[in-house]
Amino acid sequence: MIFTYTDKGVCAAKGFRAAGIHCGVRKNKTKKDLCLIVSDVKCSAAALYTSNLVKGAPITVTKQNLSDGKAQAIIVNSGNANTCNSDGIEVARQMCALVEKYTGIPASDVVVASTGVIGQKLSIEPIRNGMQTLVDGLGYNNSDDANEAIMTTDLKKKSVAVTFTLDGKECHIGGIAKGSGMIHPNLATMLVFITTDAAISSEMLEKALREDVKDTFNMTSIDGDTSTNDTLCVLANGLAGNREIIVEGEDFEIFKQALRAITEKMCRMIAADGEGATRMMEVRVSGAADEDSARKIAKSIACSSLVKTAVFGADANWGRVLCALGYSGAQVDVGAVGVDFISEKGEIAVCRDGSGVEFSEEKAKEILLEDSIIINVTLKDGSASAKAFGCDLTYDYVKINGDYRT
């Protein structure tokens, strides 16, 4: 399937408007901190959340609001996670009520999310005071403003969209994301909001989402910390006019491919923008006995602090790769493992049949000094494969998180 990429993010799909402003949740007035995304009509909706037992109050409210599989708006603040607060659920509900007051969209059809510092009370006042400005700023080309408003330690916006065809109709799917630290399977400090004008039932939307995250967001790690506020939400308003997808079949497969086209790209963006990161790392595993084993191995390598620090130092320390493979929990014929390092500078074999091979350290360092590198692991146990996405671990990661609250 060939997709045409666009740069309109959550506004690529017909009928979606977005806005982002600084309302005062964050002290830095140059940082936007309040985002709103609305559809012209009610949407099918599906969402997935953090696996952390400690969950942000907005997740509780969003789960309640999405119990009927419908939504029409998303409101998000950055700068405060609204987590572990005695009044957190009340504040999250008030945010939904403000959307109803200023847009007419029922509060029960609103997805609410927050990101930022945990354990500090979130005042509703700056949000209330900024709502009119926020709603006045809604536009069909304002995805970038919304994207900026959900960022915390992110240095780069994460936005992607594609055009595809269903039932002879041109459809669009696009999204924005934030995620830089506290990123670890399953899900992470990620807020990801995806919109599409394809017609698809909420049941099939959730099915597509659950299948997709197994190989995308659940395979992305920055630092081993699973956040309290992860929310991945998809809204589908059906304005493309295709025949609604209500069962599996060719149209459903095309939709899943379009979804994967944007989610995998988002994962790469998140990994590349890890806190303090200098290199994006993609781990590719092939020849595994089954998909579960392939995923375990890829994640284990991508999450290894020793692998990540070796990548930071551009050190071809392939033994650390095998070490992480060995404790992954997957059954592997270690005597048949191969490892290669790959980048735009070329590729180099460093291990064959579980043992080191002679290679040029200078060439390896040249390859590993690139911004994006691939650790390619080949097995001889079967035909399954998987990818995991991560980044190096640097001094700056410690600096950023050592004084995060201040």
Q: Are 80 and 122 in contact (CB under 8 A)?
A: yes
Rounded CA-CA distance 41/236 in Å is: 10
Catalytic residue among 50, 189, 195, 220: 189
Rounded CA-CA distance 105/101 in Å is: 8
* Residue carrying structure tokens 């926020």: 134
Q: Are 369 and 355 in contact (CB under 8 A)?
A: no
Neighbours of 247 (CB within 10 A): 10
Q: Are 384 and 298 in contact (CB under 8 A)?
A: no
163 carries an active-site annotation: no
Provide the Cα torsion 157, 163, 164, 166; round to 10°: 110
Active site residues per annotation: 189
